[in-house]
Amino acid sequence: MVVFVVAVGAAFTVISNKSNSQAKTPSVVSKADGYGIVFNPTGSPTIEIWEDFQCPVCAQFESINHSYIESLARGKDVKVVYYPLSFLGPESVLAANAAGCAAEEGKFLEFHRSLYMNQPAENSGAINATWLQLLGAGAGLTSNKYINCVTKGSYYGWVKNVAANGAKNNINSTPTVKVNGKELDRATQYMDSAAFKKAITDAGA
CA nearest to 1, candidates 134, 187, 177: 187
Beta-carbon contacts of 181 under 8 Å, excluding residues fewer than 6 positions away, are: 46, 48
Query: CA-CA distance, 94 to 106, in Å (whole number)?
Result: 19
CA separation (Å) from 199 to 10, 65, 76? 35, 12, 19
User: Does 17 have pLDDT greater than 80?
Assistant: no
The mean per-residue pLDDT over the stretch 143-172 comes to 97
Q: Is residue 45 part of a domain?
A: yes
CATH number of the domain that residue 125 is part of: 3.40.30.10
Q: Per-residue confidence at 21, pLDDT binned at 50, 70, 90?
A: confident
Question: What is the chain's mean pLDDT, rounded?
Answer: 92
The total domain count for the chain is 1
Query: CA-CA distance, 8 to 153, in Å (whole number)?
Result: 24
CA nearest to 85, candidates 176, 147, 27, 162: 162
Q: Is residue 52 part of a domain?
A: yes
Q: Is residue 15 part of a domain?
A: no
Q: Is residue 184 part of a domain?
A: yes
H/E run at residue 50: strand 46-52
Beta-carbon contacts of 131 under 8 Å, excluding residues fewer than 6 positions away, are: 120
Reported as a single tens digit per residue, the pLDDT across 30-89 is 999 999 999 999 999 999 999 999 999 999 999 999 999 999 999 999 999 999 999 999
Beta-carbon contacts of 49 under 8 Å, excluding residues fewer than 6 positions away, are: 69, 80, 81, 82, 83, 175, 176, 177
Backbone angles phi, psi at 135, to 5 degrees: -60, -45
- The rounded percent of the chain whose pLDDT value lies above 70 is 91
| Entry pTM | 0.91
Q: Per-residue confidence at 4, pLDDT binned at 50, 70, 90?
A: very low
Query: CA-CA distance, 183 to 46, in Å (whole number)?
Result: 12
Q: Is residue 14 part of a domain?
A: no
The mean per-residue pLDDT over the stretch 144-166 comes to 97
Q: Is residue 114 part of a domain?
A: yes
Question: In this structure, are residues 37 and 29 in contact, taking their beta carbons and an 8 Å threshold?
Answer: yes
Residue 164's domain spans which residues?
Answer: 21-202
Q: Is residue 16 part of a domain?
A: no
Question: In this structure, are residues 139 and 172 in contact, taking their beta carbons and an 8 Å threshold?
Answer: no
Q: Is residue 11 part of a domain?
A: no
Scanning 18-153, the segments in alpha helix (DSSP H) are: 56-74, 90-104, 108-117, 129-138, 144-152
